[in-house]
Amino acid sequence: MLISTAHAQTAAASDPTGGFMQLLPIILMFVVLYFLMVRPQMKRAKEHKALVEALAKGDEVVTGGGIAGRITRVGEQYIGLEVAEGVEIQVQKPAITLVLPKGSLKSL
């Protein structure tokens, strides 16, 4: 009547690459995502880990919160950070984001 007869689509045997070609854009998106987001993040994490492991007494550092100071003690998880004459705070090692050149605190 008003609805025409529906015919089934032919099997994939006529197009051997049909299934792969449909998945190709999704695979390409994951490859691009890996190179644009995952690899740079892993590189930054590796650099930060090396920075944290290289911390030593007397280094001048800046924390993630912007606090600048000189390291007075280095422990397993925490460091002692002198932020002013006679004022020392405890900071977690991963909170250190930047090591300043020697003498930078005097110019602040």
Summarised one tens digit per residue, pLDDT across range 17-44 is: 667 788 889 999 999 999 999 999 999 9
The domain ranges of the chain are 17-50, 56-107
Q: In 5-97, which ranges are continuous DSSP H helix?
A: 18-33, 39-53
CATH topology for 56-107 is: SH3 type barrels. (2.30.30)
Per-residue pLDDT of the chain (108 residues; tens, 9 = 90+): 677 776 666 555 556 666 778 888 999 999 999 999 999 999 999 999 999 999 999 999 999 999 999 999 999 999 999 999 999 999 999 999 999 999 888 877
| 31: its two tokens | 């490859």
With CA atoms as reference, report the closest residue to 88 among 97, 78, 100, 103. 78
| Closest C-alpha among 61, 87, 90, 85 to residue 73 | 90
Percent of the chain with pLDDT over 70: 86
pTM beyond 0.75, yes or no: no
